[in-house]
Amino acid sequence: EEHYFNEKCGKSKAMITEAKTVIPGGVQHNLAFNYPFPIVITKAEGAKMYDLDGNEYYDLLQAGGPTILGSNDPVVREKVIDLLNTCGPSTGLFHEYEYKLAKKISEMVPSVEMFRMLGSGTEACMCAARIARLATGKKNILKMGGAYHGWSDQMAYGIRIPGTKGMMSKGVPGFVFRHTDEFFPNDLEDLEKHLKRNKHTGGTAAVFIEPIGPESGTRPVSKEFVKGCERLAHRYGALLVCDEVVSGFRIGPGGAQGYYGIDPDLTIFGKIIAGGFPGAGGVGGHRDVMAHLGAGLDSSGKKVSKALCGGTLAATPVSCVAGYYTLCEIEKRNACEVAGRMGDRLTKGLKASIRKYNLPFVAFNIGSVCHLDNAGTMHFAIDWTKPWQLPHILKETGIRQKEMEHMGAAYMAEGLITLAGTRLYTSAAYTEEMIDDVISRFD
Ligand code: PMP
């Protein structure tokens, strides 16, 4: 494999070798799989990417989710260039697109009456936790086992860095987790147990869920479970917080909450809301809850306590104009449905290959979020709330992290860029012919 990639991606290897002298690990993203070494992308367009050595790839990574229209969408790009020509990247003052984007989001997602733009999904998760505590006067945050809600101290609870044995919570003092706990996906009894227990330790401020299941649905959850989370959270006086960083404007124009028919108090956005540009994070929700942001009185004239949040480059004109036109184009092109159909077609093709070769793999999708996993691997076998079981489970199933990385590298050799070899995003830039070509390469 190394030899193959040395030949095929020699220029990338040389650059990464240099980069390692000044960048830890040679890359800027701790969460990326980079086996056998990272490749350097020089061009991206629609459903394709090209590396420094001139190799062409199908893009099933979609920058980790944001580029649902395809990479480097010309309409969004032109709008951003127009804006740069008039006011540059940032001024520190209000721009009309802050309003336009907030308005657009509130029109597309009915639970969002008010919206605040932030710098990233991680920041938005932090902000939501603060608002929830102020709105409820309670302390604890509950999240689903294994769910990723960004890398802030408190939310790093229970997460592993892919490709390493380390927990992401390394470097975070244990006391930070005093008010964070996890419940099992698809287990309402377990959620209720936690809610009851929390009554003695300051109550539950929020139940965080990724409505398509933790880790973009790597562990899928049922509709009944999602609705049950909403019911139970409210019964115990907690807010329901939907993390739609991945699913927002991807599963449907109204996000996964529209798909599951829930009305969260707060929703966390990221990725698509800045159309692949930097500054992709935001919190939206019910008016009374969102009143805990901003200055002065809430809309009823009441004085409420305010959460500190913001950032020098939060809500820059660039993020807002890119986000606004991305959402407009999603609607115009019916992008969620188109990308979803491509996801269905891809998954069907993968399932056929799995059957044909009788592989111990499983393929499934929720619209344009597709999963191709080793059946019984860590994602399915692990009780994420007991990470110390990890070595035992890996031994039992015979699956090693290294093997997962090798799969990702094998796909890359076939011209397919995936997220860690196990997650595949489709975009509206794919055609059926392209998906069929992708399927034959997997096959
Ligand atoms: N929540 C979820 C569900 C995510 O998938 C991510 C990012 N992958 C985040 C939060 C954090 O967002 P960001 O990377 O923008 O900080």
Q: Residue 219's CB: how many other CB atoms inside 10 A?
A: 22
For ligand 1, say whether the CB of 281 is within 6 Å of any of its atoms. yes
Q: What is the mean pLDDT of the chain?
A: 89
**With contact defined as beta carbons under 8 Å apart, do 64 and 120 qualify?**
no
**Which atom in ligand 1 lies closest to the alpha carbon of residue 244?**
3
In single-letter form, the type of residue at position 324 comes to: Y
- Taking the centre of ligand 1 as the mean of its atom positions, its distance from the CA of residue 273, in whole angstroms, is 12
**With contact defined as beta carbons under 8 Å apart, do 317 and 330 qualify?**
no
Closest CA to 342 of 217, 220, 438: 438
For ligand 1, say whether the CB of 217 is within 6 Å of any of its atoms. no
Q: Residue 172's CB: how many other CB atoms inside 10 A?
A: 17
pLDDT of residue 162: 47
Q: Which residues pair with 281 in a beta bridge?
A: 118, 270
For ligand 1, say whether the CB of 119 is within 6 Å of any of its atoms. no
**Which atom in ligand 1 lies closest to the alpha carbon of residue 281?**
15
For ligand 1, say whether the CB of 149 is within 6 Å of any of its atoms. yes
For ligand 1, say whether the CB of 282 is within 6 Å of any of its atoms. no
pLDDT of residue 380: 46
pLDDT of residue 402: 62
**With contact defined as beta carbons under 8 Å apart, do 336 and 368 qualify?**
yes
- Taking the centre of ligand 1 as the mean of its atom positions, its distance from the CA of residue 64, in whole angstroms, is 9
For ligand 1, say whether the CB of 280 is within 6 Å of any of its atoms. yes
Domains and CATH numbers, the chain: 2-72+334-442 (3.90.1150.10), 74-332 (3.40.640.10)
For ligand 1, say whether the CB of 181 is within 6 Å of any of its atoms. no
DSSP structure class, residue 241: E
- Taking the centre of ligand 1 as the mean of its atom positions, its distance from the CA of residue 357, in whole angstroms, is 35
For ligand 1, say whether the CB of 408 is within 6 Å of any of its atoms. no
pLDDT of residue 298: 67
State the average pLDDT over residues 327-348. Answer: 98
Q: Residue 414's CB: how many other CB atoms inside 10 A?
A: 13
Whole-number Å distance between alpha carbons of 274 and 217: 22
Closest CA to 134 of 310, 293, 324: 293
Is the pLDDT at 7 greater than 70? The verdict is yes
Q: Where is average pLDDT lowest: 119-123, 231-235, 377-381, 401-405?
A: 377-381
- Taking the centre of ligand 1 as the mean of its atom positions, its distance from the CA of residue 245, in whole angstroms, is 6
pLDDT of residue 422: 85
pLDDT of residue 112: 98
pLDDT of residue 392: 45
Tens-place pLDDT, residues 254-281: 999 998 999 999 999 999 999 999 999 9
**With contact defined as beta carbons under 8 Å apart, do 138 and 203 qualify?**
yes
pTM of the model: 0.93
pLDDT of residue 32: 62
- Taking the centre of ligand 1 as the mean of its atom positions, its distance from the CA of residue 7, in whole angstroms, is 34
- Taking the centre of ligand 1 as the mean of its atom positions, its distance from the CA of residue 422, in whole angstroms, is 17
Please report the DSSP string for 206-219 in residue order.
EEEE-TT-HHHHTS
| Check: complex ipTM more than 0.90 | yes
Tens-place pLDDT, residues 40-94: 999 999 999 999 999 999 999 999 999 999 999 999 999 999 999 999 999 999 9
Q: Which residues pair with 74 in a beta bridge?
A: none
Please report the DSSP string for 121-176 in residue order.
HHHHHHHHHHHHHHHH---EEEEETT----SSTGGGTT-B-TTSS-BTTTTS-GGG
pLDDT of residue 386: 47
For ligand 1, say whether the CB of 244 is within 6 Å of any of its atoms. no
- Taking the centre of ligand 1 as the mean of its atom positions, its distance from the CA of residue 57, in whole angstroms, is 24
pLDDT of residue 165: 47
More confident residue, 409 or 345: 345
pLDDT of residue 159: 65
In single-letter form, the type of residue at position 308 comes to: L
Q: Residue 206's CB: how many other CB atoms inside 10 A?
A: 26
Whole-number Å distance between alpha carbons of 322 and 63: 15
Tens-place pLDDT, residues 133-170: 999 999 999 999 878 899 999 898 876 554 444 556 77
Tens-place pLDDT, residues 164-200: 445 567 788 888 889 999 898 889 999 999 999 999 9
- Taking the centre of ligand 1 as the mean of its atom positions, its distance from the CA of residue 220, in whole angstroms, is 17
**With contact defined as beta carbons under 8 Å apart, do 437 and 386 qualify?**
no
- Taking the centre of ligand 1 as the mean of its atom positions, its distance from the CA of residue 299, in whole angstroms, is 31
State the average pLDDT over residues 292-305. Answer: 78
Tens-place pLDDT, residues 357-403: 988 788 999 999 999 887 655 444 444 444 444 444 444 444 555 66
For ligand 1, say whether the CB of 150 is within 6 Å of any of its atoms. yes
